[in-house]
Amino acid sequence: MSRLYQVALALLLTFSMIACDNNIDKSRNFSDVTILYGDVVTMNDNTPSAEAVAIKDNKIIAVGNKREIIDDYPGARLADFTGKTILPGFIDSHTHIVNMGLEKIKVDLSDTKTVAEMINRVKEYYPNPKPGQWLLGKGWDEAVWATIGYPDKMLLDEAFPDNPVHLEALHTFASLFNQKAFEAAEISDDIEDKNFLRREDGTLSGTVLDKAQEIVRDAIPKPTIQQLKTAILTSTDIMAKAGLTAVHEANVSRDSMTAFEQLAAEGKLPIRIYGMVDGVDPVLTREWLEMGPKIDKNNFYTVRSIKVFYDGSLGSRTALMQDGYSDDPEANNKIMTLDKVYFDQLVTDAAERGFQMIVHAIGDKANDEVVDSYAAILKNHPGYDHRYRIEHAQVVLPSFYQKAAQNNIIASMEPAHALDDSAWAKARVGPERIHNAYAWKNMLDNNVKLIFNSDLPAATWRIQDIMYYAVNRRKLDGGEPWYPDQAVSIKDALKAMTIDSAYAGFMDDTTGSIEAGKLADFTILDQNPVKIDPLRLNDINVVEVWVDGKKVEF
Task: Name the domain boundary from 217, 237, 268.
Answer: 217
Contact status, residue 458 vs residue 420, Cβ threshold 8 Å: no
Q: Give 270-312 as a DSSP string.
A: SSEEEEEEETT-HHHHHHHHHH--B--TTSSEEEEEEEEESS-
Does residue 111 sit in the same domain as residue 205?
yes
Whether 492 has a pLDDT exceeding 70, the answer reads: yes
Where residue 330 falls among pLDDT bands split at 50, 70, 90? confident
In a domain, 139, yes or no: yes
Residue 204 lies in a domain: yes
Question: 460 in a domain, yes or no?
Answer: no
Give the separation between CA 21 and CA 15, rounded to whole angstroms: 10
Rounded average pLDDT over 205-222: 93
Q: Say if residue 45 is in the same domain as residue 133.
A: no
pLDDT band at 325 (very low <50, low <70, confident <90, very high): very high
pLDDT of residue 316: 87
146 lies in a domain?
yes
Mean pLDDT of the chain, nearest integer: 93
- How far apart (Å, rounded) are the C-alpha atoms in residues 370 and 378? 12
Is 156 domain-assigned?
yes
Q: Are residues 163 and 200 in the same domain?
A: yes
Phi, psi of 324 (to 5 degrees): -65, 170
Supply the pTM of this predicted model. Answer: 0.83
**20 domain residue, yes or no:** no
Distance CA 179, CA 157 (A): 6
Is residue 82 located within the same domain as residue 134?
no
Report residue 146's pLDDT band, with 50, 70 and 90 as the boundaries. confident
pLDDT (average), residues 324-330: 91
- Residue 337's pLDDT is 73
Reported as a pLDDT band with limits 50, 70 and 90, residue 438 is very high
How many structural domains comprise the chain? 2
Cα 426 from Cα 19, distance rounded (Å): 71
CATH number at residue 57: 2.30.40.10
What is the pLDDT averaged over residues 124-153? 92
Least confident of 16-30, 216-230, 236-250: 16-30
- The sign one gets for the Cα dihedral 184, 190, 196, 202 is positive
Q: Which residue has the higher pLDDT, 172 or 300?
A: 300
Q: What is the pLDDT of residue 333?
A: 61
**β-bridge partners, 209:** 174
Instruction: Give me the domain span that covers residue 84.
Output: 29-89+512-554
Cα separation values, 144 from 6, 141, 149, 238, 335, Å: 90, 6, 8, 28, 19
Residues above pLDDT 70, as percent of the chain? 94
Out of 217, 240, 271, pick the residue that ends a domain: 217
Query: Domain boundary residue among 217, 246, 277?
Result: 217
Q: Is residue 134 part of a domain?
A: yes
